[in-house]
Amino acid sequence: MEELCVKLKFEGLLTVEPQGRSGGIALLWKDAEDVNLMSMSKNHIDVSIKVIGKDPWRLTGIYGEPIRAQRHKTWDLLRHLARDANLPWYLIGDFNNVTSQQDKRGGHSYPNWLVEGFNDCLRDAELQDLEITGHQFTWERGRNSDQWTEIRLDRVLANAAWLDRFPMVTVYNLEGSPSDHSPLLTIPAVKKVNKNNFKFKFENAC
């Protein structure tokens, strides 16, 4: 990741090492002074984002517990982080969970207790699951076989304050990754009013 950071000419880098062959989080950004670390663990990186001339907002990268019996640890983490949600808050990552049976295609149904537990967590943390533009599943296994399974494990969440700030946000599934996970791209667009003719235009901002 350090080599990639240098190649991209970025100044900021935070990483969480993987646990064996799973997990791992990296956050890279252009200007070192734009990001302030708030907290991190083996499952998250939580930072505040400085924007010149605007109020800061909060970004959290998440890697959800892969073991189902320990999935409650991810829910507890989100609830804990939500206690300090006094900024517009945006979260992205592999949450290793779904919000409905429609988030899975192929294989056995997702256990209802996991679906209900995750949704209870999102309600408690006052987070909204953002829709994905493009292919709706972000992880797959067994393509072109009878065991082909696709699940939407990766997602973007945000609180009401962040959505008020970026009301025209769009999340794209880029697909085509050599990984079994698809990368997600978020365009946090805001509406801009041209006072001369009162027509709406759009401006990309972060």
* CA 27/CA 12 separation, integer angstroms: 8
What's residue 206's pLDDT?
A: 44
Report which residue type is found at 169: V
What's residue 84's pLDDT?
A: 84
**Rounded percentage of the chain residues whose pLDDT exceeds 70:** 92
For the chain, the average pLDDT equals: 90
* CA 43/CA 64 separation, integer angstroms: 6
Least confident of 11-20, 33-42, 87-96, 157-166: 11-20
User: What token pair was written down for 199?
Assistant: 């027509």
Q: Which of 102, 133, 130 is closest to 115 using CA atoms?
A: 102
Domains of the chain: 2-204 (3.60.10.10)
CB within 8 Å of 132: residues ≥ 6 apart:
138, 152, 155, 156, 171, 172, 173, 184
198 vs 93, higher pLDDT: 93
Yes or no: say if 178 and 140 are a contact pair by the CB < 8 Å rule. no
Residues 102-156: tens digit of each pLDDT:
999 999 999 999 999 999 999 999 999 999 999 999 999 888 788 899 999 999 9
Read off the pTM: 0.88
What's residue 201's pLDDT?
A: 42
What's residue 196's pLDDT?
A: 52
Residues 37-80: tens digit of each pLDDT:
999 999 999 999 998 888 999 999 999 999 999 999 999 999 99
Yes or no: say if 75 and 125 are a contact pair by the CB < 8 Å rule. no
Strands 132-133 and 170-173: parallel
- Show the CA angle centred on residue 205, arms to residues 203 and 206, nearest 5°: 170
